[in-house]
Amino acid sequence: KQEVTQIPAALSVPEGENLVLNCSFTDSAIYNLQWFRQDPGKGLTSLLLIQSSQREQTSGRLNASLDKSSGRSTLYIAASQPGDSATYLCARVDAGAGSYQLTFGKGTKLSVIP
């Protein structure tokens, strides 16, 4: 079974700080990698999808990178805001019999302090 690890489990930063969330995985033969945000009591919202042929994706203040050789992905958040407070999950996508399946990390809970 594939493993996805997100460390730390929780992170607290002051507003305005730039920060990096980490995602590591075993086995570099992933198909693609997706980052999600989850607010308390809500579903997951897709942030960025990095295809296996790409090294990074950007959306606004968010930048996600993928280094398959080292088994790592990072989510960079620039100029953090209190509204960025949420749990951030990464998921690797692997080809399986008949479909492509996701394996999720357990997430990093981010708190941005005003």
Partner 1 sequence: NAGVTQTPKFQVLKTGQSMTLQCAQDMNHEYMSWYRQDPGMGLRLIHYSVGAGITDQGEVPNGYNVSRSTTEDFPLRLLSAAPSQTSVYFCASRLGMAGELFFGEGSRLTVL
Residue 2 · residue 100 · CB < 8 Å? no
Q: How far apart are CA 77 and CA 58, in angstroms?
A: 10
- Select from 81, 53, 47 the least CA-distant residue to 66: 53
Of the candidate residues 32, 63, 68, 74, the single one contacting partner 1 (CB under 8 A): 32
Q: How far apart are CA 27 and CA 12, in angstroms?
A: 30
Q: How far is the CB of 45 from partner 1 (least distance, A)?
A: 7
Tokens of 52: 């296996």
- Residue 54 sits in the site that holds partner 1 (CB under 8 A): no
- Residue 44 sits in the site that holds partner 1 (CB under 8 A): yes
- Residue 62 sits in the site that holds partner 1 (CB under 8 A): no
Q: Between 55 and 106, whose beta carbon lies closer to partner 1?
A: 106
- Residue 40 sits in the site that holds partner 1 (CB under 8 A): no
- In 8-71, DSSP assigns E strands to 10-14, 19-25, 32-38, 44-51, 56-59, 62-67
Q: How far is the CB of 30 from partner 1 (least distance, A)?
A: 10
Residues that bind partner 1 (CB under 8 A): 31-32, 34, 36, 41-46, 49, 89, 91, 93, 95, 98-102, 104-107
